[in-house]
Copies of this chain bind each other. A is one copy, B any other.
């Protein structure tokens, strides 16, 4: 953090973020244990370690009101923000939200949005304790989540020899988005996976329990919010290692019906898994002996730099801008 949101993962934005971070990092204090650059910042307050992170959901950029109810927008805004806490192995404390809406946006729908926030707040144990309301050209929610942590899990720390783990779903929410964008006619046998995919996109869940279970096990972690292909590069860069994703293992994570749905949507299963970010899965690296029960191995950490996809033939592709053509 700052990180690019889902629709701004291109190289230019990362250089912008680095430029802004450079200006802001000029000012620090004793309270700052970890500033800009990870999933969340870490502050020392007395004997406590606080984690703080902010996330935006902007109409027309992150969502479309033809596809989401106002309650969905509220729900996912809080879950998406809390996902950064999950990635750090932190527990949420509370959130504040800035809600902006155009003049004439019905008050009843804003209340519906707040009800969606409240449902997520209850599930996460993360009450929304304050906020701000302002007029804007379209609907948006900016959510700041505070949490507590003992030893935060960072993006740095992965070592050669570690396994690469995924916790949670990959590609399902991406399929949900593509379903909304393309509106294809589906064979009846794909109705169930399509329903699951739409739900995954509309109502993602921050994997708090899974993040807590990584403590003492993973050496590095982050949440997959910009897409696995991009986020794995962040882990590699922060840890100063090379991360290799094994295509056969990744393919094995994609259920048969999701793969079939992906084919129909023009994005094969592995591409869905590499591009999908809005499932808010967790990506972690750690020693095999400490792998949590619900972690799925998708690759490994090696000496070197960057991220690669290893095909079944053992041929390797660099995960870089070359994968952006998978994006819709």
Asked whether A132 lies within 8 Å of B28 as measured between CB atoms, the reply is no
A248 at the A/B interface (Cβ < 8 Å)? no
The stretch that binds B, out of A33-41, A288-296, A318-326, is A33-41
Least Cβ–Cβ distance between A313 and chain B, in angstroms: 39
**Chain A residues bordering chain B, tally (CB within 8 A):** 75
Q: Knowing A29-B127, A115-B23, A130-B2, say if A136 contacts B41 (CB, 8 Å).
A: no
CB neighbours of A23 from chain B (8 A): 111, 114-115, 117-118
CB neighbours of A60 from chain B (8 A): 137
Most buried by B among A34, A98, A115: A98
Asked whether B36 lies within 8 Å of A129 as measured between CB atoms, the reply is yes
The stretch that binds B, out of A139-147, A187-195, A270-278, is A139-147
A11 at the A/B interface (Cβ < 8 Å)? no
Q: Which residues of A in the span 4-59 have a Cβ within 8 Å of any Cβ on B?
A: 4-5, 7-8, 13, 15-17, 19-20, 23-24, 26-29, 31-32, 34-36, 40-41, 43, 45-48, 50, 52-56, 58
Assembly stoichiometry (copies): 2
CB neighbours of A136 from chain B (8 A): 58, 61, 140
A213 at the A/B interface (Cβ < 8 Å)? no
CB neighbours of A100 from chain B (8 A): 56, 58, 140
Closest B residue to A55 by CB, please name it: B132
Least Cβ–Cβ distance between A70 and chain B, in angstroms: 11
Q: Which 7 pairs across A and B sit closest by C-beta, in order of nearness?
A: A41-B129, A23-B114, A144-B144, A2-B131, A41-B130, A27-B121, A1-B130
Jot down 18 A-B pairs with beta carbons below 8 A, ordered by A: A1-B96, A2-B131, A7-B134, A8-B134, A16-B110, A16-B133, A20-B133, A24-B117, A24-B131, A27-B118, A34-B129, A36-B128, A40-B130, A41-B129, A45-B148, A52-B146, A53-B130, A132-B142
A interface residues with partner B (beta carbon < 8 Å): 1-5, 7-8, 13, 15-17, 19-20, 23-24, 26-29, 31-32, 34-36, 40-41, 43, 45-48, 50, 52-56, 58, 60-62, 93-94, 96-100, 107, 110-111, 114-115, 117-118, 121-122, 125, 127-138, 140, 142, 144, 146, 148
